[in-house]
Structure 1
Amino acid sequence: MDIREWMAVNYLKLNDSKTEFLAIGSRQQLQKMPPGITLKIGTEDVKTSNSARNLGIIFQSNMSLDEYVKSLCKSCFFHIYNIGKIRNFLDTETTKLLMQTLTMLKNKESSGFVDDWQSGKTVTECNLRMLDTEDFSDVTFRVGSEQQAVQAHRYVLVSRSCVFHAMFCGKLAEKEEVSIPDIEPNIFKEFLRFVYTDKADVSAGTVTGLMYTSRKYSVDALFYECVMFLETCLSESNVCQILEDCHRYGELDLEQKALMILTKGGEGVVRSPGFAQLCSSCLEKFLKSENLKSKEEDIFEAIVSWTKHRCLQEGVSDTPENRRRLLGDLRYEIRFSSMPLDYLLTVVGPSEVLTDRERFRVIDRRVNSHVDISPFKDIQRRESNHCTEEPVSYRYVYRCRDYGLTALHSGTHAISFSANQDIHLKGCQLYGACFDETYTLTIKVFDSSHLKIAEPLQQVKTVLEGENQPNDIPFPSSLLLISGATYTLCVDMDGPDTYIGWEGRDKVIADGIEFTFNTSSMATSGTTEKMLKCNKLVKGHSQILPARKIELGTVVWKQQ
């Protein structure tokens, strides 16, 4: 049979111009051959050669391997010479192992050895190797802002995604390179790894990007794997990084969930490494929240760390001017009036986040509630005092010597009070009726300028126990009250007539703290400091609780 026909039957192609003709025999036999013998291969006349390469081995007409040995030795010497250049940095055993490995590998390559890498591997393992080596890849993606090239195989992509099927099949199929500027290279490579193997490294650093990519290319299995990760692994330690990725990829639902954890988290959130990586937009959402559980001091220190990191990113000096420039109006969201005076003097002042004039006003406000510090926020966050880990014990400061059932005029029940030490208002006590009844409560706290500083309860329905039993009304979070400043507690209470306290004292001393009570001009129902709806203030480690129609008879407080 003709050689060409035989090769065609076996799906091989004969390259006429590269064919070599080798006559093999002993020296005597080769000398007897007539000169100029040729072999007709297609249109080419192939002459005899002294040597020819087959499967990496150089064969010679006299069956000698001299030329092959010379070629192999030359190649090995080249690698050994290169090893010699770094010999001083290697010990003897490492050098020996390296030389042997390189020599054996070169020998294997030169011998035409076929690497049977498929042996013993599963389909997914073989797919992964094809992806890593890019063997026979037939599509190129340009990924990310720098358009990094990523190779893949159309067959695999089309078999796994309807989006890729539409992209590569049909009349409008992509013929050239595919540009994907909205996905980072590391995310896209991890996505391809899942497409090829059904496995991906889903972590805090990749989950948002993988969710976005899997949704874009309709790979539902990966999307649900990301959802499972978030349901089990989203925490205070990684929420900042995930929130930032959500903002970048536009994952609004996940962003809201991450933002909730960010604001509800405590010290662990603001001290996590990812907090300094937040963009200005995410930081603004955090600072404007009224439900932060972190102490304002921890928030301030995290903000200073954030400005230092941004200065480093922008390549500018960490100066007070740059700190204020980077924060802009976000400085006004920091509740400086909630910080202790010694902290303002020893930490906030030296940081120079505030100008001298701003610092003086904030400090004056700390000792004089009439000082206006706008545009800085002066309303305390609702959750800011819940971050202490130590248990707090509360004590009650009783004001009223007697009580009775009466009907007060409808309207606002209010009483003014002050303390000679810093305290945290924690709640109040309210009397109920003769029997258990349901009431709708709205409670507000005002400063001496009648500026509302908090609204702990708003149209909240609750059942108050009857039979002259005072009922604890705890606030969702405590309110820092400054020593010497006068505050007014207002209660709007819809429901049946209730008991009230009588003969309320003007001054009450508890654990060395003096409380002073006065009639408030904001009361429209007839409440006075002598006739109170709130029986007592509850006090403890640092908090105060007035009561209903406002018998601030009892104050719940926690000492500062």
Structure 2
Amino acid sequence: MAASDVQPTGFVDNWQAGKTLAECNLRMFDAEDSCDVTFRVGSSGHVIKAHSYILISRSCVFHAMFTGNLAEKTDVSVPEMEPNDFKQFLLYLYTDNTTVDADNVTALLYASRKYDMTSLETQCTEFLQENLNVGNACVILDSAHRFDESQLFRRALTFIQNTAQASLQSSGFLTLRQELVDQIVESDDMIVEEHVVFNAVNSWAEAECERQGKEVTSEAKRSILGDTFWKIRFPLINHTFLSKDVKSSGLLTEPERLRILEYIGCPDNDVKPFNSKQRHQKHSPTHSITRFKSENRIGWKTSGHRKDAISFQSNQNLILCGYKLYGPERRHETATYSVTTYFGTEENVLQCMIQDRAQYTVKGKDFDVVIEEPVAVTAGLWYTLVVLIEGMRTFGGQHGKRELLCPDGVSFTFRNSTHSENNTSVSRGQIPSLLYRIV
């Protein structure tokens, strides 16, 4: 019994009273009471103490380490993990509960596999699948590859292919190992403009030069890229970008660049060894959701000065391909509308124009506004769609629903936006439908 457990009156401190098993274990861990194992974690060898009984009762790997003829010393080095991450892993062993978040999920997945904690591994992979988005898809792809999570790897790769226009511009792409960059760039199924592929690969090569301590030069970048260079489909890049941005990068020699320019001018020319094959751009079908039960024939003003807006979230990761707007209030009239589209969070949406003043000639109740570069929608996050419409008065929806469940299992929740200046709301107004694909 520790001396600190005996009070001056002679009574024992009954701190265990009323506590659950998990709470008692946590107290023993936090107080380092009767610990008999020392972990030295991270590059600095930070000391974290633990109890062998807890460890061997939870993990067959720890059981083998601390018992039997092959038992190791109770001083264990874990240099590959950060102290905070390893402590979160131990908390799971002690309490069957831990905090999995975007910052530690990769480390916890690693520890759960290393020490054969399948329940925590499942929790980590579920977190990654549920929180897959443009910002972390490349990081998750790398983690899934490193830990041989084949199902998660395929899901992340498909997500990147479907959202390549944005995913290739994420910071996570710059940190990928080359074999994964190579696999992404080689894909026939990416939905992306080829100049985005070029920019991503060029930026990755510059980052890799810095990681290897090399001066960032054209020669160094091309040497580092190796075969990945030939998987950029230069003949698909438009003439202006090729003449300016690609030229300034120095990745192409002048004869190579001129050969590609000649091919763009005359596609009958032989451009080998460059790949001129169009990417297949295979993707799931486009779905539509309508949020109003009926239309109001009283004209909706569309002066081009007051914005219509609605906010929404979905229960699944999606690609927003576009939306519908109502057409002229008189069904048989033909009208021209100029439409500007913004999409983002409620806070930053007006800084995120995704389509500028596209014109539509309309004869009918509604019309589709197709987004040229579809945007990713992450499950559970709120987004705002803002539309500036200029043209004749239109129909307006009414009896809108706050929650909608689609036949494909996707559900949407809508709420009013503070950016709506033209009376569009959950219950009435413009933007009757969203057009989307399931990732």
TM-score, L = length of structure 1:
0.45
Higher relative contact order, chain-length normalized (CA < 8 Å, sep 6+)? 2
Q: Rg larger in 1 or in 2?
A: 1
- Give the secondary-structure state (helix, strand or coil) at the position aligned to 2:38: strand
- Give the 5 Å matches for 1:316-395: 316-383=214-281
| Gapped regions of structure 1 (runs ≥ 5) | 1-10, 14-54, 58-113, 393-560
- Give the secondary-structure state (helix, strand or coil) at the position aligned to 1:178: strand
Measured after TM superposition, the shift of residue 260 of structure 1 is: 2.1
Q: Percent identity?
A: 40
Letter of the 1:375 counterpart: P
Q: CA separation of 1:227/1:384 partners in 2, compared to 1, >3 Å: closer, same or farther?
A: closer
- Give the secondary-structure state (helix, strand or coil) at the position aligned to 1:140: strand
Q: CA separation of 1:219/1:389 partners in 2, compared to 1, >3 Å: closer, same or farther?
A: closer
Of 163, 176, 189, the residue aligned with 2:61 is: 163
Of 246, 250, 253, the residue aligned with 2:144 is: 246
State how far apart, in whole Å, the 1-side matches of 2:29 and 2:257 are. 60
The answer on 1:298 being equivalent to 2:201 is no
The answer on 1:280 being equivalent to 2:178 is yes
| Structure 1 contact 209–245 (Cα < 8 Å) conserved | no
State how far apart, in whole Å, the 1-side matches of 2:45 and 2:150 are. 26
State how far apart, in whole Å, the 2-side matches of 1:375 and 1:388 are. 36
Q: CA separation of 1:382/1:119 partners in 2, compared to 1, >3 Å: closer, same or farther?
A: same
Choose 359-368 or 261-270, whichever is displaced more. 261-270
Root-mean-square deviation (CA, aligned residues, Å) is: 3.6
Measured after TM superposition, the shift of residue 121 of structure 1 is: 6.7
The answer on 1:312 being equivalent to 2:210 is yes
State how far apart, in whole Å, the 1-side matches of 2:30 and 2:321 are. 50
- Give the 5 Å matches for 1:333-482: 333-383=231-281
| Structure 2 contact 128–140 (Cα < 8 Å) conserved | no
| Structure 1 contact 335–379 (Cα < 8 Å) conserved | yes
- Give the secondary-structure state (helix, strand or coil) at the position aligned to 1:342: helix
The answer on 1:261 being equivalent to 2:126 is no
State how far apart, in whole Å, the 2-side matches of 1:282 and 1:181 are. 26
Residues 60-86 of structure 1 show CA distances to partners (whole Å, capped at 9, x for unaligned) of xxxxxxxxxxxxxxxxxxxxxxxxxxx
Partner of 2:130: 232
Q: CA separation of 1:275/1:155 partners in 2, compared to 1, >3 Å: closer, same or farther?
A: same
Of 128, 131, 141, the residue aligned with 2:39 is: 141
TM-score, L = length of structure 2:
0.56
Q: CA separation of 1:288/1:174 partners in 2, compared to 1, >3 Å: closer, same or farther?
A: same
Q: CA separation of 1:141/1:291 partners in 2, compared to 1, >3 Å: closer, same or farther?
A: same
Measured after TM superposition, the shift of residue 285 of structure 1 is: 0.8
Choose 165-174 or 117-126, whichever is displaced more. 117-126
State how far apart, in whole Å, the 2-side matches of 1:341 and 1:385 are. 27
Q: CA separation of 1:374/1:133 partners in 2, compared to 1, >3 Å: closer, same or farther?
A: farther
State how far apart, in whole Å, the 1-side matches of 2:113 and 2:2 are. 44
Residues 111-148 of structure 1 show CA distances to partners (whole Å, capped at 9, x for unaligned) of xxx99987887654553454345443211235567766
Partner of 1:202: 100
Of 176, 183, 189, the residue aligned with 2:87 is: 189
State how far apart, in whole Å, the 1-side matches of 2:320 and 2:213 are. 37
State how far apart, in whole Å, the 2-side matches of 1:348 and 1:378 are. 16
Partner of 1:174: 72
Measured after TM superposition, the shift of residue 277 of structure 1 is: 0.9
State how far apart, in whole Å, the 1-side matches of 2:271 and 2:88 are. 51
Measured after TM superposition, the shift of residue 305 of structure 1 is: 1.9
Residues 259-309 of structure 1 show CA distances to partners (whole Å, capped at 9, x for unaligned) of 222222232211222111111111011111111112111111112221222
| Structure 2 contact 129–152 (Cα < 8 Å) conserved | no
| Structure 1 contact 142–178 (Cα < 8 Å) conserved | yes
State how far apart, in whole Å, the 2-side matches of 1:119 and 1:218 are. 33
Letter of the 2:179 counterpart: S
Residues 172-228 of structure 1 show CA distances to partners (whole Å, capped at 9, x for unaligned) of 332343345665655433211211222223234433442343244332331221232
Q: CA separation of 1:391/1:367 partners in 2, compared to 1, >3 Å: closer, same or farther?
A: farther
State how far apart, in whole Å, the 2-side matches of 1:249 and 1:318 are. 31
Q: CA separation of 1:122/1:298 partners in 2, compared to 1, >3 Å: closer, same or farther?
A: same
